[in-house]
Structure 1
């Protein structure tokens, strides 16, 4: 429910015609709401072309049904906020290490929300950016990328100079408290639809995300809940928990619940239009389409008390739990997972020693992980609806997988 004074962006000069640049007006409305002690910044029906929006404490950004917030393309109209300088970023890629170069961002804010039945269209966002400079150990990239030509890698990992003025995230939050993101539709959102780093007391609910790279990334969050979300990400992870060093320190991911969500790897845009197309067979890492729920691979900090319940995987990789950078993963409980058209391993648990971190980083641990009430089948499956169990068709699964699922 919305409460507080409403600041209509049209009263601050927004046109909503999809042609004029409206981010100056929207930012002016945000500042007016902040000055008033808080309030609702309203985008009524219309098409709002925008560069970076800077969300402030006690401000709700409300995108009404019929309103579309469109990420502008860098060029004659302007550019996105520059990636902030945070010192050497040795262990994470560019996308995990910056927040200001986004369509909507907040840092150090409290009691904020982004909600409504409207849409965010990341038209002008890029999914690319530089990789990590860390190169101590071979195998930084997946084995499936080992034979990829340098030119193809260059397309995925553009230089830092090329990223100046570009936006590569729809929503980015750093060091925020008491945050809600609800009911929105997000399309083609760049590197991340949502990147939340060290965010406490975080609720993400009722979202429909259909995007060209990661969906919802929760990096070192505490007391978070993701529920009733549909996330289609053929090229990367759908919902993923991480504990990276993006903010320059080791921190944990604790007390997180993911429930009643569906992740998938259908062709981009076809979850939203309902056609659920299956033309794309592989993601940019040259393995099968992704779309999964995952813990890791960024795992410098610990993961504790994680619950994953009543979720559905459709034409995607399965549940992955991976500690490779020194973190401990413990007290994980997953139940009632339905997997249809699993593209790789239904369950993948890995304790490894990539050790992408400061000198002295040692392997972590995995303990007290329980997975029960789970069913999965290969790419001949029926459509999963309303989290019902699929037909018991396991003839295409590896014998070890059949045994693992009790089939």
Structure 2
């Protein structure tokens, strides 16, 4: 008996030892894997660095401490868990992912707390709005960084940041930029931007929501290789401004910005050099001009004369090139705008699959001008190779439908609009039809600066090689203006235009300086007038 028991004990002990050895090996392997994983995805909880998240305690020092600690270790995720974190300026650093968990809110501190960083030195001269010249006076900012991201389903509430450009008022008189002097204003603490990034590379901003974003919800200047995806913004001035940036994609965003532009590409002189904004894709986005806050609460209350659009310009010192905009909707805001007025070029632009409803002032606005808000401008503003297709616009303001205005000395060259259906609210009078619109010149490039146009659908002036195909215009109430009017066009191609007009009103009016007209499948176009134009041109 004792021998059998001893053998059994030995067998059990041997098996136990073997099992323990296997568990030991597996445990060691698990620890190594975990150690490696932890090294790659290190998370720094801001609460471990003193953040409270009660909405009353200033938590930005703790958030910055967590960012600094992560940066010292080569980077990682700075995690902001659920709670409300009252904050002044938060300083991003390279290789940092600032992650806002669901239920987390970064709340901008009131101005009187002096929690925002002072404005940095700036000496290039006031060639752009003052807010474009300063970045450090922001809720979240970074400069000369690589591999940065702001992610998560949390909320950034601008809170106490302001929407005004007070720095510009202190820096120089807004109307004095034509004769600027170098300036280095005393540092100011005026938090007026939610996110400001300058000269950063490899940037990701995804899934966050921004409310009450101040002058800019996002100001991105001189950055490249950026992705902005699935961002919701309900703000009181500019939404996303992309300035002098390259290789950037904006996708799946919802931007409500009644007080200014929704998604705006710019090309300022803020970096002290002429730099193109180029290789930009904007797709699957929604822009609107509802009253601030009513996008998020779902009531979507209209605000008269709201902006809220997608625009290129007006800041256009360096110019724009290789831009693609597609699959976007506009609602209760102004329409699409392409504006080059500061001596730069705007070229190689494709815009397609756009749906717009309830538009203020116009549906499509394409303009060049000679505002020349740039140092030592030596070239005219230029625009060429632009294609806009597959657009539906309804509820368009009677002021203007499609407006195309170049410079007499530098016509827009190579513009094609096709597959467009435009419905105007109508109401134009015979007096409106007799209006002779002034030249844009050096004025601010907005349709309301020129006013109501003498054609409700299409007005084009100073263009070379203009192609219009498969365009349908109509009105909701009777309009006594022609559907289309053309002046100083060199090379006009019209194909399948269906243009509604009131009884006794000409479908289209062609000035004597419209040359080389080709038209087909366009009922209502006066062939006799075209023939007369041709005879006059030959003389």
Moved more, 84-93 or 292-301: 84-93
Q: How does 1:115-194 map to 2 (within 5 A)?
A: 115-129=151-165, 130=168, 133=173, 135=175, 164-194=188-218
Equivalence for 1:369: 386
Deviation beyond 3 Å, 4+ runs, structure 1: 131-138, 397-400, 402-405
TM-score, length of structure 2 as denominator length: 0.65
Shift of residue 358 of structure 1?
1.1
Cα deviation digits, residues 265-298 of structure 1 (max 9, x gap)? 00010001100012x31xxxxxx21000000000
Equivalent of 1:99 in 130, 135, 155: 135
The whole-number CA distance in structure 2 between the counterparts of 1:326 and 1:7 is: 47
Q: Does the Cα contact within 8 Å between 2:396 and 2:424 map onto a contact in 1?
A: no
Q: How many residues align?
A: 365
Shift of residue 379 of structure 1?
6.0
Cα deviation digits, residues 66-98 of structure 1 (max 9, x gap)? 0000000122x4321001002143211221000
Q: Does the Cα contact within 8 Å between 1:7 and 1:29 map onto a contact in 2?
A: yes
Report the CA distance shift for 1:393/1:309 in structure 2 as closer, same or farther (over 3 A): closer
Q: Does the Cα contact within 8 Å between 1:137 and 1:354 map onto a contact in 2?
A: no
The whole-number CA distance in structure 2 between the counterparts of 1:79 and 1:30 is: 17
Equivalence for 2:121: 85
Cα deviation digits, residues 2-29 of structure 1 (max 9, x gap)? 9620000000000001011100000000
Q: Does the Cα contact within 8 Å between 1:256 and 1:305 map onto a contact in 2?
A: yes
Equivalent of 2:299 in 269, 272, 275: 275
What SS is found at the alignment partner of 2:360? coil
Shift of residue 355 of structure 1?
0.4
Equivalence for 1:208: 232
| Higher-strand-fraction structure | 2
Q: Does the Cα contact within 8 Å between 1:309 and 1:337 map onto a contact in 2?
A: yes
Cα deviation digits, residues 151-174 of structure 1 (max 9, x gap)? xxxxxxxxx77x922200000000
Q: Does the Cα contact within 8 Å between 1:325 and 1:361 map onto a contact in 2?
A: no
Equivalent of 1:227 in 251, 258, 265: 251
- Which has the bigger relative contact order, CA under 8 A and spacing at least 6? 1
1:401 aligns with 2:457: yes
TM-score, length of structure 1 as denominator length: 0.86
Equivalence for 1:113: 149
Shift of residue 328 of structure 1?
0.3
The whole-number CA distance in structure 2 between the counterparts of 1:395 and 1:239 is: 24
Equivalence for 1:5: 42
What SS is found at the alignment partner of 2:395? coil
Q: Does the Cα contact within 8 Å between 2:59 and 2:87 map onto a contact in 1?
A: yes
Which one has the largest radius of gyration?
Answer: 2
Q: Does the Cα contact within 8 Å between 1:91 and 1:134 map onto a contact in 2?
A: no
Q: Does the Cα contact within 8 Å between 2:195 and 2:219 map onto a contact in 1?
A: yes
Q: Does the Cα contact within 8 Å between 1:210 and 1:231 map onto a contact in 2?
A: yes
Gaps of 5+ in 2: 1-37, 179-184, 398-420, 429-454, 460-467, 474-539
1:43 aligns with 2:67: no
Report the CA distance shift for 1:336/1:360 in structure 2 as closer, same or farther (over 3 A): closer
Q: CA RMSD in A?
A: 2.0
